[in-house]
A and B are shown apart, each in its own frame.
Chain A
Amino acid sequence: MRNIIRAFRLERIKGRHTRTWLIMLLTAWLLPLLIFIFTLTLDRDPEMYVDKVVTSWFDQVFKGVSAFGMLFLPMAVVLLTAQVNSVEHKNNTWQLIETQPIPKWSIFIAKYCRVLVQVLAVILLFFAGQYMVYAVLYKLLHIDAKYYSLAVSWGDTLAYILNLFAGAMSFMALMFVLHINIRMTNLLSTCAIVSLLGYTMAKVFFPDIPAWVPLVQLEKVSGGISEVGAWLNYYARLSLVQSVFILVIGYLFYYYRNYKRYFFKQYGTLAFATATVLLGAAAAYWLSQPRYQSSYGRSVLAGHIDTDTEVKELLLVSEDGLPMAAIPVQENGDFRLLLDSLDIPMARYSLLQPVNRQPVTAYKDKPSAFFMTNGDSVHLYIKMRNGFTDMDISGDRRAESGAAAGIGFSNMEQLKWKIENDRIKGDEAAFLEQLEKSYRKDVKASGGYTTIDGYAVAPDVSGRNITLLNLKALSLWELYGKMKSKPELSASDQFGFINRLREALDFNDVSLVAREEFADNYFRYLNRNKEVTDLQKPALLEQIKDDRVRDAMRYQALRSLLDNNALDDSLVLAMYDAEIVKISSARYRKALTTDYASRKARTNFAVLPEFVFEDENGAQQSLRQFAGSYIVLDIWASWCPPCKANAPYFYDYADKFKDKNVKFVAVSVDQHINAWKTHKTRNPNIVNWHTSFSSDFIRYFGIKGIPRYILISPEGVPLQHELPMPGQSGFETVLKQYIK
Chain B
Amino acid sequence: MDTIIDIQKLSYSYNNNFKALDDISIRVPRGAVYGFLGPNGAGKSTTMRMLAGIMPDESGAVRLFGAPLGGQLPGIYSKIGCLVEQPVLYSHLTAKDHLELVLKSNALALDKIDPILEMVGLTKAKHLAVKRYSLGMKQRLAIGLCLVKEPELLLLDEPVNGLDPNGMQEVREMLLRLNEQHGITIFISSHLLAELEKMCSHICIINKGKIHFEGTMQELKLKFEGTPVRITIGDYDGPVSLPGYEVLRKEHTVTCHLQSRNEIPVIVSRLVEQGIPVYEVKQEGSLESWFMDIIQ
Looking across the interface, which residue of chain B has its beta carbon closest to that of A90? B91
**A385 to B: closest C-beta gap in Å:** 67
A6–B75 CA distance with the chains assembled, in angstroms: 14
Number of A-B contacts (CB under 8 A): 74
B97 to A93, Cβ gap below 8 A? no
Asked if A486 lies at the interface with its beta carbon under 8 angstroms from chain B, I say: no
A18–B92 CA distance with the chains assembled, in angstroms: 7
A90–B90 CA distance with the chains assembled, in angstroms: 8
Q: Which of B74, B92, B129 contacts A100 (CB 8 A)?
A: B74
Asked if B89 lies at the interface with its beta carbon under 8 angstroms from chain A, I say: yes
Looking across the interface, which residue of chain B has its beta carbon closest to that of A87? B90
Binary flags per residue of B202-234, CB closer than 8 Å to A gives 1, else 0: 000000000000000000000000000000000
Q: Choose the segment among B101-109, B238-246, B282-290 that binds chain A (4+ C-beta atoms closer than 8 Å).
A: B101-109
B52 to A13, Cβ gap below 8 A? no
Asked if A338 lies at the interface with its beta carbon under 8 angstroms from chain B, I say: no
Binary flags per residue of A187-221, CB closer than 8 Å to B gives 1, else 0: 00000000000000000000000000000000000
Q: Choose the segment among B77-85, B183-191, B257-265, B273-281 that binds chain A (4+ C-beta atoms closer than 8 Å).
A: B77-85
Q: Choose the segment among B2-10, B22-30, B53-61, B164-172 that binds chain A (4+ C-beta atoms closer than 8 Å).
A: B53-61
Looking across the interface, which residue of chain A has its beta carbon closest to that of B146? A99
- A101/B97 contact (C-beta < 8 A), A9-B104, A93-B89, A258-B56 known: no
A87–B91 CA distance with the chains assembled, in angstroms: 8
CB-CB under 8 A from A102, the residues of chain B are 74, 77, 105
B104 to A10, Cβ gap below 8 A? yes
CB-CB under 8 A from A427, the residues of chain B are none
Binary flags per residue of B50-76, CB closer than 8 Å to A gives 1, else 0: 001111101000000000000000111
Asked if A16 lies at the interface with its beta carbon under 8 angstroms from chain B, I say: yes
Q: Which of B52, B58, B101 contacts A10 (CB 8 A)?
A: B101
**B101 to A: closest C-beta gap in Å:** 5
**Considering the complex, which residues of chain B in the window 95-119 have a beta carbon less than 8 Å from any beta carbon of chain A?**
97, 100-102, 104-107
Asked if B145 lies at the interface with its beta carbon under 8 angstroms from chain A, I say: yes
The number of chain A residues with a CB under 8 A from chain B is 27
- A93/B90 contact (C-beta < 8 A), A98-B54, A99-B54, A101-B74 known: yes
A95 to B88, Cβ gap below 8 A? yes
CB-CB under 8 A from B89, the residues of chain A are 91, 93, 96
- A91/B90 contact (C-beta < 8 A), A10-B105, A100-B102, A258-B55 known: yes
B145 to A96, Cβ gap below 8 A? yes
A16 to B97, Cβ gap below 8 A? yes
CB-CB under 8 A from A594, the residues of chain B are none
CB-CB under 8 A from A265, the residues of chain B are 58
CB-CB under 8 A from B91, the residues of chain A are 90-91
Asked if B192 lies at the interface with its beta carbon under 8 angstroms from chain A, I say: no
Asked if B295 lies at the interface with its beta carbon under 8 angstroms from chain A, I say: no
A6 to B107, Cβ gap below 8 A? yes
- A13/B97 contact (C-beta < 8 A), A96-B88, A101-B105 known: yes
**A111 to B: closest C-beta gap in Å:** 14
Asked if A103 lies at the interface with its beta carbon under 8 angstroms from chain B, I say: yes
Asked if A679 lies at the interface with its beta carbon under 8 angstroms from chain B, I say: no
CB-CB under 8 A from A341, the residues of chain B are none
**A259 to B: closest C-beta gap in Å:** 12
Asked if B294 lies at the interface with its beta carbon under 8 angstroms from chain A, I say: no
CB-CB under 8 A from A87, the residues of chain B are 90, 92
Asked if A14 lies at the interface with its beta carbon under 8 angstroms from chain B, I say: yes
Asked if B174 lies at the interface with its beta carbon under 8 angstroms from chain A, I say: no
The number of chain B residues with a CB under 8 A from chain A is 30
Asked if A92 lies at the interface with its beta carbon under 8 angstroms from chain B, I say: yes
CB-CB under 8 A from B247, the residues of chain A are none
A103 to B74, Cβ gap below 8 A? yes
Looking across the interface, which residue of chain A has its beta carbon closest to that of B79? A101
B54 to A6, Cβ gap below 8 A? no
Binary flags per residue of A59-97, CB closer than 8 Å to B gives 1, else 0: 000000000000000000000000000010011111111
A95–B90 CA distance with the chains assembled, in angstroms: 11
- A101/B77 contact (C-beta < 8 A), A13-B93, A96-B145, A258-B56 known: yes
CB-CB under 8 A from B74, the residues of chain A are 98, 100-104
Q: Which of A93, A94, A99 contacts B82 (CB 8 A)?
A: A99
**Considering the complex, which residues of chain A in the window 258-294 have a beta carbon less than 8 Å from any beta carbon of chain B?**
258, 265
CB-CB under 8 A from A103, the residues of chain B are 74
A95 to B101, Cβ gap below 8 A? no
> Which interface residue of A6, A94, A95 has the most chain B CB atoms within 10 A?
A95
A555–B75 CA distance with the chains assembled, in angstroms: 87
Asked if A17 lies at the interface with its beta carbon under 8 angstroms from chain B, I say: yes
A9–B54 CA distance with the chains assembled, in angstroms: 23
Looking across the interface, which residue of chain A has its beta carbon closest to that of B107? A6
A102–B55 CA distance with the chains assembled, in angstroms: 16
CB-CB under 8 A from A98, the residues of chain B are 53-54, 74
**A261 to B: closest C-beta gap in Å:** 8
A13–B90 CA distance with the chains assembled, in angstroms: 11
A552–B80 CA distance with the chains assembled, in angstroms: 93
**B84 to A: closest C-beta gap in Å:** 6
Q: Which of B78, B84, B104 contacts A13 (CB 8 A)?
A: B104
A95 to B54, Cβ gap below 8 A? yes
Looking across the interface, which residue of chain B has its beta carbon closest to that of A94? B88
Looking across the interface, which residue of chain A has its beta carbon closest to that of B93? A16
A13 to B100, Cβ gap below 8 A? yes
A155–B74 CA distance with the chains assembled, in angstroms: 46
A96–B89 CA distance with the chains assembled, in angstroms: 7
> Which interface residue of A95, A98, A99, A258 has the most chain B CB atoms within 10 A?
A99
Looking across the interface, which residue of chain B has its beta carbon closest to that of A95? B88
**B48 to A: closest C-beta gap in Å:** 11
- 7 A-B Cβ contacts within 8 A? A13-B101, A14-B93, A95-B84, A95-B88, A99-B54, A99-B82, A101-B77
Interface residues of B (CB under 8 A from A): 52-56, 58, 74-78, 80, 82, 84, 88-93, 97, 100-102, 104-107, 129, 145
Listed from nearest, the 10 A-B pairs whose CB atoms lie closest are A100-B105, A101-B77, A101-B78, A99-B82, A17-B92, A96-B88, A95-B88, A13-B101, A93-B88, A101-B75
